[in-house]
Structure 1
Amino acid sequence: MILKSTHYAKQGEVTRNWVLIDAEGATLGRLAAQVAKILRGKNKPQFTPNSDCGDFVVVINADKVQLTGNKADHKTYYRHSGYNGGLKAESFRQAMEKHPEKVIERAVRGMLPKTTLGRKQLTKLKVYAGTEHPHAAQNPVKIELEG
Structure 2
Amino acid sequence: MPVTSSAHLYNARQADQQRAAPGGARQRPGRTLEAADRGAWSVTATFPPQPRNVGRARQLTCTALAAWGAADLVDSAQLVVSELVTNAVRYGRGAISITLALTDAALQISVADFGRELPQAREAGEEDSSGRGLAIVTMLCEEWSVTTRLTGKTVSCWLDLS
Q: TM-score range by the shorter chain?
A: 0.3 to 0.5
Which of the pair has the greater relative contact order for Cα pairs under 8 Å at 6+ separation?
A: 1
**Structure with more of its chain in strand, by fraction:** 2
Which has the larger Rg? 1
TM-score normalised by length of structure 1: 0.34
